[in-house]
Amino acid sequence: MKKIQMKWERNGYTLRTFEDGKAEKYYQDCFTKTDTEVYRLTGTAGAFTHDQIIQYYDRIVDDPARYDFIITDPNGTYIGESVINEIDWEVKSANFRIIIFDSGNCSKGIGTWAVQCTRDFAFEKLKLHRLELDVFSFNHRARNVYQKAGFKTEGIRRDAIFDNGKYADDILMAILEDDWRELKNKQQK
């Protein structure tokens, strides 16, 4: 199955489907500096080598079980990604995740916009029934973004994370196609 190519633009920022031949740019823009706070909030463990990132990018760009979207700033720099992965076409469900690689780009509405575009794509284009994610209890900003986008808490893995000397929860959230339709109808009124 050929992947659907998408592109959204807002205030100079772009969200678009990963493209062939962009693995080196992806590595340079997203992985040559480490933002420890972003890694903490997303549960990213360890550093990745150049070759690991290049191989990963080249493997996923055409993978039919996922859709990866790159977030680009007005200067053309890759600043994040929004991902629908682990797609189960039979059940019509998938996992969702997003990362803004530099915390200096957070709290600008970019993540909120990317979450909403990706969520809409999942239901409008992929015809999914369910989109789920997990978020750490200490990532308040992300939890608020997900709730605003219509994701609802379904479960909590209590004390599943050990962060800065304290235990924290891993929260499972999801949005169903009916939830999404209801949200879209309210927004249109």
Residues in the chain: 189
Tell whether 106 is covered by a domain: yes
Number of domains in the chain: 1
Tell whether 2 is covered by a domain: no
Tell whether 1 is covered by a domain: no
Tell whether 150 is covered by a domain: yes
Tell whether 62 is covered by a domain: yes
* Domain span including residue 79: 7-188
Tell whether 77 is covered by a domain: yes
Tell whether 14 is covered by a domain: yes
Burial of 188 (0-12, 13-18, 19+ CB in 10 A): exposed
Cα-Cα-Cα-Cα dihedral sign, residues 19, 21, 23, 25? negative
Pull the structure tokens for residue 104: 């200096």
Domain at 95, CATH number? 3.40.630.30
Per-residue pLDDT of the chain (189 residues; tens, 9 = 90+): 678 999 999 999 999 999 999 999 999 999 888 788 888 888 887 778 999 999 999 999 999 899 999 999 999 999 999 999 999 999 999 999 999 998 888 889 999 999 999 999 999 999 999 999 999 999 999 999 999 999 999 999 999 999 989 999 999 999 999 999 999 998 887
The answer to whether the CB of 87 falls within 8 A of the CB of 123 is no
